[in-house]
Amino acid sequence: MTITQQEVQHVSLQKAQNYVNEVFEAVKKRNPNEKEFHQAVKEIFDSLVPVFAKHPHYMDNNVLERISEPERFLTFRVPWVDDEGKVRVNRGFRVQFNSNIGPYKGGLRFHPSVNASIIKFLGFEQIFKNSLTGQPIGGGKGGSDFDPKGKSDGEIMRFCQSFMTELCKYIGPDIDVPAGDIGVGAREIGYLFGQYKRIRGGFEAGVLTGKGLGYGGSLTRTEATGYGTVYFVEEMLKDKGLSFNGSTVIVSGSGNVSIYAIEKAAQLGAKVVACSDSDGYIYDAKGINIDTLKRIKEVERDRIQAYVKEHPDAIYHDNCSHIWSIPCDIALPCATQNEIDEKSAKMLVANGVKAIGEGANMPSTLEAIDVFLSHSILFGPAKAANAGGVAVSALEMAQNSMRMPWSFEEVDEKLYHIMKNIYQTSITAAKEYGHPGNLVVGANIAGFIKVADAMIAQGVI
């Protein structure tokens, strides 16, 4: 009996699925109790089955088991002295996940929820995100369980100095280049850079990105993640004859990513009616006033509730997760992981949402993603949609190497084209591997192939 083409395909798909299942079980066993890391790994692994079926040499080289084990995982003690003179201790982390296409690159997160699982999920996703940007950057991530809330400037500085005193042994412009994430913005990067410079005794600008404009920072880096997310969603909408113009939008969070997603969406003609923090959310039917928002969050470092004092028509609600009950055309989760669960996703769908763009990392649970995809909602996954931040970080590294800054317009233009390109690459890969329109699968596959090829080319290392 001759084996038909379809049977050959079926056999190899099954073989590929078995391989993926086996490695996933090994990852769980090797990293017990790390549920966020397992979640990120599961999403990517499942997307890759058609790749292994078509190109079995990735299985032969056991690329999956290699790529899901970090090259290096560092934890360290961060002792510091608070304003009362009391010695405090936090835990620092850096995962150097993959360096096959460039130096490790990824942000630092300071938040009490930070642990090995959170850092590994973020670092693992960063490999594929960074690959998608088309720039020469590998995957890394770091942070600490330090809580910056309620700390004085002096305490933040002393913490950052202690953190860098240890981290500086492992980073460098061609080795590993950290940046910001939750709880780490321009102020913290400034303190970290100052301490690195002091210990090294030289001005290595490219060791950190997100620096202040006066000492090697790039114009547009502050705006990049939020703007990039909106540029990406605009591409998804365009393909369906839709746009931000005239749409109602909700954006969760009120940090760096949220603020600039709100600003760009409004510039494109949308009305952004709600945003949040971890305590609650505000609803402003007239559209959020971006100047007030920026002052409250960036200058006064206050809570989002302060907004309603200045805009009495706006309403404040406790419980940030209820933000998803507001009817909207476009939802941009820009706060944190797993902020949209199955129930919230169903609510968004029932209220007529047309598109989701993930500004945060892994903001939708696997069940929520299933809800969106099964209802054919346009869905821009984090790795693709929020890659604008790290993409402009790589542009900052390029400017640092050249010792020549670019204008806001130049960087913004490059960011726009990078986001457009990520969309096209992801859509093309999704179609080629049998999942047309599925950007989760498309982004994962496109990000994976470049890194996997580089791993094989560089041998078993």
The nearest distance, CB 195 to ligand NDP, in angstroms, is 21
Q: Under the criterion CB under 6 A, does residue 359 sit at the interface with ligand NDP?
A: yes
Instruction: Extract the tokens encoding 132.
Output: 């998608």
Q: For residue 264, which of 283, 284, 280, 243 has the smallest C-alpha distance?
A: 243
Task: Give the total of residues touching ligand NDP (CB under 6 A).
Answer: 23
d(CA 214, CA 203): 13
d(CA 354, CA 332): 11
Query: Read out DSSP for 403-457?
Result: T-PPPHHHHHHHHHHHHHHHHHHHHHHHHHTT-TT-HHHHHHHHHHHHHHHHHHH
Of 133 and 256, nearer to ligand NDP (C-beta) is: 256
Q: Determine whether 141 is an active site residue.
A: yes
Q: Under the criterion CB under 6 A, does residue 254 sit at the interface with ligand NDP?
A: yes
Of 222 and 361, nearer to ligand 2IT (C-beta) is: 361
| The only residue of 12, 68, 135, 225 in contact with ligand NDP, by rule CB under 6 A | 225
| The only residue of 131, 386, 399, 400 in contact with ligand NDP, by rule CB under 6 A | 386
The nearest distance, CB 239 to ligand 2IT, in angstroms, is 24
Please identify which residue in the block is written with the tokens 């990105």: 209
d(CA 327, CA 320): 15
Of 386 and 438, nearer to ligand NDP (C-beta) is: 386
The nearest distance, CB 222 to ligand NDP, in angstroms, is 9
Selected catalytic residue, list 120, 141, 211, 354: 141
257 binds, among ligand 2IT, ligand NDP, none (CB under 5 to 8 A by kind): ligand NDP
d(CA 424, CA 422): 6
Give the binding site for ligand 2IT (CB under 6 A).
Answer: 105-107, 129, 179, 181, 209, 361, 389-390, 393
Cα Rg of the chain, angstroms: 22
Residue pair 170/132 in contact by the 8 Å Cβ criterion: no
277 binds, among ligand 2IT, ligand NDP, none (CB under 5 to 8 A by kind): ligand NDP
Q: Under the criterion CB under 6 A, does residue 257 sit at the interface with ligand NDP?
A: yes
Q: Under the criterion CB under 6 A, does residue 422 sit at the interface with ligand NDP?
A: no
Q: Under the criterion CB under 6 A, does residue 278 sit at the interface with ligand NDP?
A: yes
Q: Under the criterion CB under 6 A, does residue 389 sit at the interface with ligand NDP?
A: yes
Q: Under the criterion CB under 6 A, does residue 180 sit at the interface with ligand NDP?
A: yes
How far is CA 144 from its chain centroid?
A: 17
**What is the DSSP pairing of strand 248-251 with strand 280-283?**
unpaired
- Alpha carbon distances (Å) from 417 to 10, 31, 119, 360, 413: 38, 38, 29, 21, 6
Active site residues: 141
Residues found near ligand NDP in the complex (CB under 6 A): 180-183, 225, 253-258, 277-279, 320, 334-336, 359-361, 386, 389
